[in-house]
Structure 1
Amino acid sequence: LPKEFRGFLYELRRKYGRTEQCVHQNSCVSTVAESFGYNFTIGLGASVALTLAQNVSALFSNPSIIREKLFSKSILRIPTFYGLMPLIFHTVRCTLNRLPLSSHKYNNIVAGTASGLAMLAFPNVSIAMYVLWKAFELIFRELVKQGIVRPMPYGDLFLYTVSTAYVLWQIVIEPQAIRKGYLKFLLGLTGNRMSLLNRDLYEHFGYQSRLLFPYRPTLDTKYVTMNPMLYQPISPP
C-alpha cells in the first residue's frame, strides 16, 4: 500500500474512538469504512467474473459487448449491495451502542434488520429467501441453545422431505406458480419429462395445469381403461 494511504488508514483507526460494547478492534469509523471497501472490492470482482463467464463467446466474436457490460452501471449493483450490508450494520450498531441503557443483543438485531436495506441496490428474490430462512434457522438454534424450545429429532430431514414434496406437487399441478429458475432446474433434472404429463386430468381442479405444458398424449383405447372422450376434444365429422 502507498505510504500516504497507510498513514490515512492508521489515523482512521486510531484517531476516532469506539464504545465499550463494540467488539471490533479499531475505531467505529474505520470499521464502517474498511468493511464497505473490503466487501465492495470482493463484490466487484465477483460481478466482473460473472459477466465474463456469461459472455465467454463474445470475448472473441464481439469484445465491444464485454467492454460495454463491464463499464455499465449494472455491474456495480452486486458490489454496492455487498458493501452496503456491513456499512449499514456497523453504522446502526455503533450508533445504538452509544445510547444509554442500550442492549448489545437488541442492537445487533436492529442493525442486522436495517442492513437488509442494502437489497434496494440489488433486489433478488433468491437472496432474500435464503437470508430469511437462514435467519429463522439462527433464531431456532438460539432458542434451542437457551432451552426455550426442544429440538425435533430428524427435523431437518422432515422439513426437507415436506419441502421437496411440495415443490414436486407444484410442478405437476401448477407449474406456472414456480419461479423460472426452479422450473428450468427441475425440467433438466427429470430429462424434460415433467412437461410430458397428461395435465388434462387435472384441469377440473382449477389450477390451469396445462397453461405452460399443453401436451396431450394419444391414448390407445386398447390399453387404457379411461375413456379418452372424457378429456379429449371431439373431432368434427
Structure 2
Amino acid sequence: MAVLGKPKSVTCTCYELGHTWTPSCLRASTDVLLEVLKQALKIYGTLYTVAGILKKRDLRYFKEKLLREIAQSVLFLTTNGTLFISFFCIWRKLLGRFFYSTTGFVAAASASLTAILLERKSRRGLLAIYMANVATETAYRMVLSRGWIKPVKHGEVLLFSIASAIYLYFFRKGHLAEQTKGALSFLVGKDELPIAEREEGPNHRRHGNTLISRLSESSTFQRINKSLQTTPKHFLCQHSYGCVHYVTKSFIKMFGLGYLVQGGVKLLGALPRIYRNPSAVWHAIKHQDNFKLGAFLGCFSAIFKIVNCLLRWLRNKDSEVHGLLAGFLAGWSMLWYKSSTIALYTAYKLAEVLYFKGISKGLLPYIRCADIIIYSISTAFVFHVAVFEPHNLRPAYWNFLLKVTGNKFGTMNRRLLEPLYKDAARIAPDFWPDYDMRYTSLTKDSLLRRS
C-alpha cells in the first residue's frame, strides 16, 4: 500500500498499463462494453426470470415488467464496467500520469456513482450491502496479508452467531420488517413469533411440512411420527405436538432443503461435463457440500427451537430474551458450512435494521442517498484492490471480474505498478502483454534494466 506523503506515480501510457490488448482508448471501452453487456444479459436474464417463477409472478409481470427490469440492471452493470476503463484513461490524460489513487479508486468511484444512479432504487440498498460485504472481506484479507493482525479462529462463525442472536431477539418480539420476518419464519417457523404476528392460515400446522407429510405416508415413518408427536410439551409452547417432534420435524425439513438447494447448484455446474463424463451427475448429487449446507440449515433451525423449548421447561416462563441465547447458539451451526460471505451479509443487514430503528426513535440522523454513497465507495475500493493487489480479493469475486470483462481485467501489466505497490504483480508474476511495438518501446528487458 502506498504511504502517505508525496504522491507516487508512474508515467506509462494507458495502453502499456491498462488496455494492453489494444492501443486505442475508445476501442478498449467498446470491447469492455460488449463483454460486460453479454455477461450482464446472461446474469440478469436468468436471475429475474427464475426469481419471477419462484415468486409466482403473474403473466402481466412477465409481459410488462420483466424485460424492463432486466434492461435497467443490464444498463447498470454495463455502465459500471465500461466507464471504469473509460475513466481510467480520462484521468491519465488529464493528469499526464498514473497516481496511486486515480489509477483505481478515483476511476472506479466515478464509474460506480454514475452506474448506481441508473439502477432501480429498490435494488440500490441490496447492491450497497453486497459491495460493502465484499469490501470488508477484502480489507480483512489485505491486513492479514500484511501481517498486521492474526486471523481470528472461527471469526466468521462468531460474527454470524452475534448477528443471529440479535435478529432472533427481534424476531421473538415481532419487531422486524415483513420481508425479514418472512425469511426467518421460513427458516425457524412461526411458532416462536408473538401470537399476533403469526398470521397463519387454517392449514398452517397440518400442512406446513410437505416433506414430513410424505415421509409419514409410509407405515414406519408414520409410527415414528406419531411417537414423536406424543412426546411432552410445555404448556407455554405454541407448537401443536411434543417438543421432540417440533425439533425433529424442523431439522429434517431444513436439512432436506439445504441438501436439495446445494445439490441443484452442483448439478447445474456439472451439466456442461455430463456428455464427456456422465458420472459427474452422481458426484454432484453426493457432493459433501450438499450435506454441509443441509446440516447448517437443519442444525440452525433445530438448535433455535431446542433452546427455546428447554428454557421454557427450565424457567417455567417464556420470554423474547430467550431468542438471544437461542440465536447465538444456533449461529454456531455455521461450523458445518463456514462462509464469511453469509456472516458479513447478515451483519450488514442487521446494521441496516438497527440504523432504521435508530432513525425511527430519533436517535440517529437519516442520511439521504446512503445506499448510493456506500455502493460507490465500496465498489471503488474493491476495484482499486483489483488493480493493485487482486490476490487479496475474494477468489470468487476476482473470477467474476475476469468473466464479466472477458478476462480483460487480468491483462493489465501490473509489473508497471510495482513502484506504487511492490506486490502488484503477485497474482501473475511472469505475465507480460503481447504489445504492438508500433505504439510502445516498452519491453520486459527494458523494465528490468530500469528497475
TM-score past 0.5 threshold: yes
The correspondence for 1:209, drawn from 420, 424, 428, is: 424
Matched, 1:16 2:232: yes
Q: Which amino acid aligns with 1:194?
A: F
Q: CA deviation at 1:117?
A: 1.4
Residues 402, 410 of structure 2: 8 Å contact kept: yes
Aligned length: 231
Q: Which amino acid aligns with 1:54?
A: G
| Structure-2 separation of matches of 1:114 and 1:74 | 22
CA pair 141-30 structure 1, distance change in 2 beyond 3 A: farther
| Structure-2 separation of matches of 1:146 and 1:27 | 40
**1:119 counterpart residue number:** 334
Q: Which amino acid aligns with 1:45?
A: L
The correspondence for 1:189, drawn from 393, 404, 411, is: 404
| Structure-2 separation of matches of 1:138 and 1:170 | 29
**For residues 24-50 of structure 1, what are the alpha-carbon distances to aligned partners after superposition, in whole Å with 9 as ceiling and x for unaligned?**
454433321111111111122223323
Secondary structure (helix, strand or coil) at the match of 1:43 reads helix
**For residues 127-152 of structure 1, what are the alpha-carbon distances to aligned partners after superposition, in whole Å with 9 as ceiling and x for unaligned?**
23323323333333443444433332
**2:202 counterpart residue number:** none
Matched, 1:131 2:366: no
CA pair 167-73 structure 1, distance change in 2 beyond 3 A: closer
**1:47 counterpart residue number:** 262
Secondary structure (helix, strand or coil) at the match of 2:419 reads helix
Residues 388, 421 of structure 2: 8 Å contact kept: no
Residues 18, 26 of structure 1: 8 Å contact kept: no
Gaps of 5+ in 2: 1-215
Q: How does 1:7-156 map to 2 (within 5 A)?
A: 8-9=224-225, 12-13=228-229, 15-18=231-234, 20=236, 22=237, 24-68=239-283, 70-71=285-286, 73-100=288-315, 104-156=319-371
The TM-score normalised by the length of structure 2 is 0.44
Q: Which amino acid aligns with 1:212?
A: I
**Runs of 4+ displaced beyond 6 Å:** 219-224
Residues 92, 111 of structure 1: 8 Å contact kept: yes
Gaps of 5+ in 1: none
Q: CA deviation at 1:195?
A: 2.2
Secondary structure (helix, strand or coil) at the match of 1:191 reads coil
Percent identical across equivalent pairs? Answer: 25
Matched, 1:160 2:380: no
Instruction: Answer 1 or 2: higher relative contact order, Cα 8 Å, separation at least 6.
Output: 2
| Structure-2 separation of matches of 1:207 and 1:166 | 18
Residues 270, 284 of structure 2: 8 Å contact kept: no
Residues 24, 31 of structure 1: 8 Å contact kept: yes
- Alpha carbon RMSD of aligned pairs, Å? 3.5
Q: Which amino acid aligns with 1:192?
A: N
CA pair 68-2 structure 1, distance change in 2 beyond 3 A: same
| Structure-1 separation of matches of 2:439 and 2:282 | 62
Secondary structure (helix, strand or coil) at the match of 1:205 reads coil
| Structure-2 separation of matches of 1:35 and 1:222 | 66
| Structure-1 separation of matches of 2:238 and 2:368 | 35
Moved more, 36-45 or 122-131: 122-131
Q: CA deviation at 1:155?
A: 1.4
